[in-house]
Amino acid sequence: MNVVNKLNESTTIHWHGMHLPAVMDGGPHQIIPPNTVWQPYWKIKNNAATYWYHPHLHEKTQEQITKGIGGLLIVRDEIESALALPRTYSVDDIPLVLTDRDFNSSNQFTVVPYGDSMLTNMTLRAQYSLPAQVVRFRILNAAIERSFNLGFSDGRNFAVISSDGGLLNAPVTVTKYLLHAGERIEILVNLSGQKGTSIDLQAFNSLLGNNIPGGEQFTQGPFSNFLGHKDFNILHINIGNQTTNPITTIPTKLTANELLKVADVNITRKLTLSDSAGVSGILGPNALSLTINYLILTISSIKCR
Amino acid sequence: MKKAVYIVFILIQVNLYSQYNNLWIPDTLSGTQFNLTIKDTFAQLVSKGQQTITSGINGKFWGPTLL
């Protein structure tokens, strides 16, 4: 990677989800000063899936992400490539980066936890034409706080095929999927035989409780926003012609993940993570507030349950 | 009359609001070496009025999809 920082301030670029050495990670400690180049390198060890990269500078991450810095990483491997899945980028394999932003009266971003406007791939009120066949979406929640309770306007089924870390063993059929900030999924939806019609991919956030980001109804203060606890459109889909070699069925098996066995666990520790909307200082393991340079656990080669 | 003009005005507003924009899809870069340049720029994100000050990687906002 040749990462050139032409901003007037420092930044970092973190490779979110990538399995790599700590010195290549791009966390808050790996500052790229203005007008310098950072050249991390690593061997891809990840499973095929959708990952992303974004700034991670201490106390500047929210502002720099709000302004639009970020990108997707798509890893492919032999297992994924051997499956009959849609994989023609922008035709039947569509990246969707979900964010919400607040614009002031001069159309400029304001740096707030929740925006009033949905942006899909930085597009307001987005629409796209898709072929009448099985289509894949690679969906990233790149919002600052908001979760998206994803589903289609007609309540149709869709199949989740991949999570943050790679393919699931088999597709999981759902009608809703709650995607939290930073999380990625890949889904398949069958548009076969529906040429000339349209559907909407939506966030059904009115179904969320106020313990879920985006389910709250803040009417004032820094967290107040237009989209809270509401349903809204993410993508209007116009269904058009099939492509020449369409995928028309959803595979029944995808991969064989090797999971850690509970029986192999030799140390058990209990960590409780909690959050309270908008209240700082009580997010953290074992209800301790997170402080910089505070080491809670040192884990050497143990297996975690 | 004044009321009718006002209703027409509201209908136009609703129509403007419901207009869709074509989804932007990030470019791709593939291979084993990637050049990413982060810079401040601006983009017409809102259909009317001023452009928005943004930061992007190799473009106006967001960045390329790396394969």
- Residue B47 is assigned to a structural domain of this protein: yes
For B42-61, the pLDDT digits (tens) are: 999 998 889 998 999 999 99
The contacts of residue A242 (CB under 8 Å, 6+ apart) are A131, A132, A133, A195
For A196-211, the pLDDT digits (tens) are: 999 999 999 999 998 9
- Residues of chain A with Cβ-Cβ distance to B67 below 8 Å are 74, 76, 89
Residue A99 has a pLDDT of 96
Could you tell me the two tokens for A70? 């970020």
Contact B62 A74 (CB under 8 A): no
Residue A278 has a pLDDT of 46
- Residue B10 is assigned to a structural domain of this protein: no
- Residue B22 is assigned to a structural domain of this protein: no
Q: Which residues of chain A have pLDDT under 70?
A: 272-305
- Residues of chain B with Cβ-Cβ distance to A8 below 8 Å are 40
| Range A93-240: architecture per CATH | Sandwich (2.60)
- Residues of chain B with Cβ-Cβ distance to A90 below 8 Å are 25
Total tally of structural domains belonging to chain B: 1
Residue A50 has a pLDDT of 97
Residue A273 has a pLDDT of 65
Nearest to A3 among B36, B45, B62 (CB): B36
CATH of A3-81, picked from 2.60.40.420, 3.40.50.300, 3.40.50.10490, 3.40.50.720, is 2.60.40.420
Q: Is A213 on the interface with B (CB under 8 A)?
A: no
Q: Which domain holds residue B56?
A: 29-61
- Residue B37 is assigned to a structural domain of this protein: yes
For A243-286, the pLDDT digits (tens) are: 999 999 999 999 999 888 888 888 887 776 665 544 444 444 44
How many Å lie between the alpha carbon of B16 and the closest alpha carbon of chain A? Answer: 11
The residues of chain A that CATH labels 2.60.40.420 are 3-81, 93-240
What DSSP line would sit under B44-66, residue for residue?
A: --SSSSSPEEEEEESSSSB-PEE
Residue A71: how many CB atoms within 10 A of its CB? 27
- Identify the sign of the CA torsion A44, A145, A142, A98: positive
